[in-house]
Amino acid sequence: MLPIINMEETGSNIVRLREDAGLSVRDLQDIFGFATPQAIYKWQRGVSMPTIDNLLVLSLTFRVPIERILVVDQVS
């Protein structure tokens, strides 16, 4: 069985963890230094995934291991 990242559920995790941390999308935009919040909205909707380095920043920002951000499904 091969693992694949469930992008929609991972996006839901990002929303939940962001809210649990008391952060707004604008707060994350400022942390990452993004000119617009579009990438963050795409992550949250499961349209795209953060890069590895951005996952690391999310992990440190939310104070959780990367494994708590990613939702991995097993596919046969």
Confidence of residue 63 (pLDDT cuts 50, 70, 90): very high
For 14-31, what is each residue's pLDDT tens digit? 999 999 999 999 999 999
pTM given for the model: 0.92
Query: Class of the 2-75 domain?
Result: mainly alpha
CB proximity list for 70: less than 8 A, separation 6 or greater: 5, 10, 13, 55
